[in-house]
Structure 1
Amino acid sequence: MVRGRLPALAAGVVIVGLAFGIRSVSDGGLEQYSGTALYASMIYAGVFLLGPAVPPVRAGILAVGFCWAVEFFQLTGVPEALSERSPVARLVLGASFDWVDVAWYPVGVVPLVVLQRLVSRRAAGSAATADRGSRVGSPPA
């Protein structure tokens, strides 16, 4: 995932599309667990939509923390009541607490953090190599 608002928005759209695509062809465990992980992935993308310069590890912590907060909020019964009135509330807040969801949120975020760090390091290494190459044969400053 590339930092910036536009890439974050595009990633969020792709993630939501993937979640709805899985939901349209599957039910049961695949739908439940992939939906939970992809929800967390979308929140991770959302962190970059709000703050494009947030470091990946911090964005991951914020995303998982937000997901856990929403999950524990479900213990109050408020999300369930809202979900009965609104399909959007059900998608955003869920309805009932589940320890399995608590475990699946990091599954949707940790691979993205690792991938983003690897891509960032590779890009930084390529930029440093290009910078050194542009100085070869140049007169000293």
Structure 2
Amino acid sequence: MNPRSRAVLAGVAALVVVAGVAVARLGDGPWADPAGDALYAALVYLLVLLVAPRVSPWVAAGVATAFCTAVELLQLTGVPAVLVGHVPVLRYALGTTFNAVDLVVYAAAATVAALVDRAATRHVVRADSPRPGVARRAAD
């Protein structure tokens, strides 16, 4: 099965959501916030691939990092805090407090996701390969 199939991507995204909720609810200590941020960036990376499965890992990482950065910068306006006050579950998607360290974690996590994606798709045989049966990098 192609690691970039929508079924695989959706399954991995679901696992990332479960891990993120577990970290948010059960996580304690200095590792919990960065772990949650990394999982958030990984989820955004996977969502990019669900929308555009043929995009290169580096483009997906760039889009994920840009999106996460935009959400983090939005926290400087106070808008997410107001929205979370009305709809508490939005805390998981928007956060409430800006933290510059989160920007580094997002970029690092998106890069790791791209490296894992690249390794997982290195030898995938694509239907549009110039010669059937010849392995070719999938979307790189």
Deviates more, 1:20-29 or 1:6-15: 20-29
Larger-Rg structure: 1
Question: 2:70: which partner in 1?
Answer: 69
* TM-score, L = length of structure 2: 0.81
- Residue deviations 1:87-111, cap 9 Å, x none? 2211111101110111110222111
Matched-pair identity in %: 32
Classify the secondary structure of the residue corresponding to 1:54.
Answer: coil
Deviates more, 1:106-115 or 1:72-81: 106-115
Classify the secondary structure of the residue corresponding to 1:121.
Answer: coil
* TM-score, L = length of structure 1: 0.81
For residues 24 and 90 of structure 1, what CA distance do their matches in structure 2 show? Answer: 12
Structure 2 unaligned segments of length 5 or more: list them: 135-140
Contact in 1 for aligned 2:4/2:121 (Cα 8 Å): no
Contact in 1 for aligned 2:45/2:64 (Cα 8 Å): yes
Aligned-partner residue type, residue 28 of structure 2: D
Aligned-partner residue type, residue 60 of structure 2: A
Distance 1:74 1:25, change over 3 A: closer
- Residue deviations 1:1-42, cap 9 Å, x none? 921322221111010111222334321322111000100000
For residues 4 and 79 of structure 1, what CA distance do their matches in structure 2 show? Answer: 33
**What is the number of residues matched between the two proteins?**
129
Distance 1:29 1:47, change over 3 A: same
Deviation at 1:53, TM superposition (A): 1.5
Question: 1:116: which partner in 2?
Answer: 117
For residues 79 and 7 of structure 1, what CA distance do their matches in structure 2 show? Answer: 31
Aligned-partner residue type, residue 70 of structure 1: V
Q: 1:1-141, aligned counterparts within 5 Å?
A: 2-123=3-124, 131=133
Question: 1:135: which partner in 2?
Answer: none
Contact in 2 for aligned 1:4/1:53 (Cα 8 Å): no
For residues 3 and 25 of structure 1, what CA distance do their matches in structure 2 show? Answer: 31
